[in-house]
């Protein structure tokens, strides 16, 4: 019998460690606050996104996703262990993949977490499978509090190239934004997160304008730094420079917290942000506080980011792009150095 | 086969010594001719998680307490420290190519072999434990500390 959802789910390496399936601690004492789970089926995701570890177009024998292993575990056991070992957890995120059973199973797994744990529930939903508002209303009934939508690519052209026609994939840009609007109506302003991957070939300006667009629609934005998955079509593409990523993080923070607006920001001829459109003192304060450079994701009960994905975007030995904890003063000095680096 | 100390699911064969410098957790096993083999103990492999990389510094000698290189898993990275001074005379290439061998068998997977420069003196260091009772106390304290961090 194949190990498929809803009886089984895949967990991130960080979740597997926190639930004590895998050995290991997090570098610098980071703590995971949200369990990331993936629905799983044979033969897998029907989509063909060029950068994704789950893509059906990926070479066989490559099984990682966002840099790490995702072991398949019985849902019963994940729930049992979340209750036993998850004292630091406050959220679970259940991700659909593009598979005909995923919508139904998302609700089954969500209900189980709602009824059997104290965790708040996020769902990373697949707009390609959502043809009306009803599935969104059903999710809410099943206990989903927030939803994420992985638009990933910042522009229509990049979306088409890497997720749509360019890879003979099923996803459509307009459908993603339509479902995003519907999700804001169903779940409320600030309860929908748009995932965006920095480094797929967009300029900083294009990314910032898309962040503003999502914000204006009532959504939050959650950033990821592109990481080339071995065996994927984009395995040779370079990652975004740390300075590039930090500038986008800073702009996102200003926009999402209504401290700034893309229209007031200035860009150079390469589309790099040269002026964040806020006073120097206010900008310094935001940089020094450091929160802008932490992983962006759904919040916990304290209002701080819960989906902190420790070392999900880079090896622990590398410069951090997403800080899974509040950066210390030494980190902030490093961040400032990168913010001023326009060499990429 | 060497007697083995068990502390919970961790195990420590008693045919070798353990380097207790903070964060080290390196075992040292003297060989014939004054050489020693070094590897990671089971506490360290449990903390590190499944290893992806072992990277050795490009140098031929090391001082006691000096860095030999580093190890890295998906979510953790740290240095490898040498408990003795000496010349590096051997590197376990299969382990470097597939560091998860260390997770499977930490005590059968040595990482480097050294020709120690003053082994007798270095082995007298209070930072090297040999007795089962001492090792047990040390590991219990390490486990208490790790639990407090959780």
Q: Do B86 and B117 meet the contact criterion of CB atoms below 8 Å apart? A: yes
A24: chain B residues, CB-CB within 8 Å: 46-50, 73-76
The CB density around residue A51, as the number of other CB atoms within 10 Å, is 23
Q: Which residues of A touch B (CB under 8 A)?
A: 13-14, 17, 22-27, 29-30, 67-69, 88, 310-311, 315-317
- For the cut 70, the answer to whether the pLDDT of residue A256 exceeds it is yes
For A318, the token pair is: 């590398």
ipTM comes to: 0.90
Q: What is the pLDDT of residues A125-165, one digit of tens each?
A: 999 999 999 999 999 999 999 999 999 999 999 999 999 99
Q: What is the pLDDT of residues A192-244, one digit of tens each?
A: 999 999 999 999 999 999 999 999 999 999 999 999 988 888 989 999 999 99
Option in B50, B72, B146 nearest A315 (CB):
B72
Q: How far is A26 from chain B (nearest CA, A)?
A: 5
- At residue A150, the pLDDT reads 97
B45: chain A residues, CB-CB within 8 Å: 23
Q: What is the pLDDT of residues A295-335, one digit of tens each?
A: 999 999 899 999 999 999 899 999 999 999 999 999 999 99
Closest chain B residue to A64 measured between Cα atoms? B74
- At residue A274, the pLDDT reads 98
Stretch B86-112: mean pLDDT: 97
Classify residue A184: in a domain, yes or no. yes
Closest chain A residue to B48 measured between Cα atoms? A24
Classify residue A228: in a domain, yes or no. yes
- At residue A97, the pLDDT reads 94
Domain span including residue A309: 8-339
Chain mean pLDDT for chain B: 95
Contact call for B75 and A317, based on CB within 8 A: no
CA–CA distance, A337 with A325 (Å, rounded to integer)? 19
Contact call for A88 and B150, based on CB within 8 A: yes
Option in B47, B70, B150 nearest A24 (CB):
B47
B8 touching A (Cβ < 8 Å): no
A95 three-class SS? strand
List Cβ neighbours of B54 (8 Å cut-off, separation of 6 or more).
B69, B70, B71, B72, B80, B95, B96, B99, B102, B111
B50 touching A (Cβ < 8 Å): yes
CA–CA distance, A305 with A258 (Å, rounded to integer)? 17
| Helices assigned H by DSSP within B32-81 | 42-48
Residue closest to A307 by CA, chosen among A150, A177, A159, A179: A150
Q: How far is B2 from chain A (nearest CA, A)?
A: 25
Q: Do A82 and A69 meet the contact criterion of CB atoms below 8 Å apart? A: no
Q: How far is A268 from chain B (nearest CA, A)?
A: 36
pTM score: 0.93
CATH number at residue A38: 3.20.20.70
* Pairing state between β B77-81 and B67-73: antiparallel
- For the cut 60, the answer to whether the pLDDT of residue A62 exceeds it is no
Q: What is the pLDDT of residues A10-57, one digit of tens each?
A: 999 999 999 999 999 999 999 999 999 999 998 889 999 998 887 766
Q: How far is A272 from chain B (nearest CA, A)?
A: 31
Q: What is the dihedral of CA B47, B49, B54, B56, to 10 degrees?
A: -10
Sign of CA pseudo-dihedral A105, A106, A109, A115: negative
- At residue B82, the pLDDT reads 97
CA–CA distance, A222 with A228 (Å, rounded to integer)? 19
B78: chain A residues, CB-CB within 8 Å: 27
Q: What is the pLDDT of residues A107-121, one digit of tens each?
A: 999 999 999 999 999
A69: chain B residues, CB-CB within 8 Å: 50, 74
B72: chain A residues, CB-CB within 8 Å: 315-317
Classify residue A176: in a domain, yes or no. yes
Write phi, then psi, for B52 (nearest 5 degrees).
Answer: -110, -30
Closest chain B residue to A16 measured between Cα atoms? B49
Could you please state the CATH topology (level 3) that the domain comprising B18-127 is classified under: OB fold (Dihydrolipoamide Acetyltransferase, E2P) (2.40.50)
Contact call for B49 and A68, based on CB within 8 A: no
- For the cut 80, the answer to whether the pLDDT of residue A64 exceeds it is no
- For the cut 80, the answer to whether the pLDDT of residue B54 exceeds it is yes
If one counts the domains in chain A, the total is 1
CA–CA distance, B142 with B145 (Å, rounded to integer)? 5
Across B114-138, b (16+ Cβ under 10 Å) vs e yields bbbbebeebbebebbbeeeeebeeb
List Cβ neighbours of A170 (8 Å cut-off, separation of 6 or more).
A46, A47, A48, A98, A128
CA–CA distance, B73 with B78 (Å, rounded to integer)? 9
CA separation, residue B63 to residues A163, A204, A308 (Å) = 54, 48, 39
- At residue B51, the pLDDT reads 97
Q: Do A287 and A259 meet the contact criterion of CB atoms below 8 Å apart? A: no
Classify residue A36: in a domain, yes or no. yes
- At residue A280, the pLDDT reads 96
- For the cut 60, the answer to whether the pLDDT of residue A59 exceeds it is no
- At residue A69, the pLDDT reads 86
The DSSP code sequence of B88-130 is EEEE-HHHHH-THHHHH-TTT---EEEEESSHHHHHT-TTEE-
B146 three-class SS? helix
A22, A23, A322, A325: best to mutate for the B interface, most B CBs within 10 A: A23
Classify residue A2: in a domain, yes or no. no
- For the cut 70, the answer to whether the pLDDT of residue A80 exceeds it is yes
B67 touching A (Cβ < 8 Å): no
Stretch B120-125: mean pLDDT: 92
């Amino acid at each position: 019998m194949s190990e498929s959802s809803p009886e089984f789910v895949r967990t991130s390496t960080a979740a597997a460690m926190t639930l004590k399936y895998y050995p290991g601690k997090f570098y610098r004492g980071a703590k995971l606050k949200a369990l990331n789970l993936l629905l799983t089926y044979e033969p897998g995701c029907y989509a063909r996104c060029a950068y994704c570890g789950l893509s059906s177009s990926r070479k066989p024998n490559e099984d990682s996703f966002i840099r790490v292993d995702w072991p398949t575990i019985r849902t019963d056991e994940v729930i049992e262990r979340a209750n036993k070992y998850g004292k630091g957890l406050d959220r679970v995120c259940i991700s659909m993949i593009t598979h005909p059973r995923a919508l139904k199973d998302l609700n089954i797994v969500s209900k189980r977490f709602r009824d059997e744990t104290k965790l708040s529930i996020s769902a990373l939903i697949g707009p390609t499978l959502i043809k009306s508002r009803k599935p969104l209303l059903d999710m809410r009934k099943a206990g989903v509090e927030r939803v994420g939508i992985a638009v990933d690519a910042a522009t229509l052209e990049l979306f088409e190239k890497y997720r749509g026609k360019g890879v003979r994939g099923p996803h459509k840009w307009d459908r993603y934004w339509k479902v995003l609007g519907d999700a804001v109506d169903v779940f409320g302003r600030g309860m929908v997160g748009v995932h965006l991957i920095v480094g797929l070939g967009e300029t900083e300006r294009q990314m910032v304008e898309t962040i503003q667009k999502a914000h204006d629609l009532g959504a939050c934005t959650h950033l990821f730094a592109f990481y080339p998955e071995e065996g994927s079509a984009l395995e040779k593409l370079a990652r975004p420079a740390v300075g590039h990523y930090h500038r986008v993080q800073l702009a996102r923070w200003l926009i999402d917290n209504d401290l700034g607006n893309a229209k007031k920001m200035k860009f150079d001829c390469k589309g790099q942000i040269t002026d964040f459109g806020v006073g120097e003192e206010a900008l310094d304060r935001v940089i020094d506080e450091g929160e802008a450079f932490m992983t962006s994701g759904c919040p916990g009960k304290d209002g701080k980011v819960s989906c902190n994905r420790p070392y999900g975007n880079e090896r622990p030995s590398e410069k951090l792009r997403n800080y899974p904890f509040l950066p210390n003063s030494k980190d902030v000095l490093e961040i400032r150095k990168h913010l001023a680096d326009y060499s990429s | 086969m060497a007697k083995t100390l068990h502390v919970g699911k961790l195990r420590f064969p008693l045919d070798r010594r353990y380097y207790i410098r903070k964060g080290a957790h390196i075992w040292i096993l003297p060989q014939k001719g004054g050489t020693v083999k070094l590897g990671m103990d089971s506490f360290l492999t449990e903390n590190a998680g499944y290893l992806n990389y072992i990277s050795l510094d490009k140098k031929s000698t090391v001082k006691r307490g000096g860095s030999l290189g580093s190890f890295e898993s998906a979510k953790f990275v740290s240095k490898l420290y040498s408990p003795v001074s000496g010349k590096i005379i051997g590197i376990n290439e299969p382990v470097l190519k597939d560091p998860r061998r260390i997770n499977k068998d930490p005590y059968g997977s040595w990482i480097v072999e050294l020709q120690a420069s003053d082994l007798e003196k270095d082995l007298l260091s209070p930072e090297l434990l040999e007795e089962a009772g001492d090792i047990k106390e040390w590991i219990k304290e390490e486990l208490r500390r790790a639990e407090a961090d959780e």
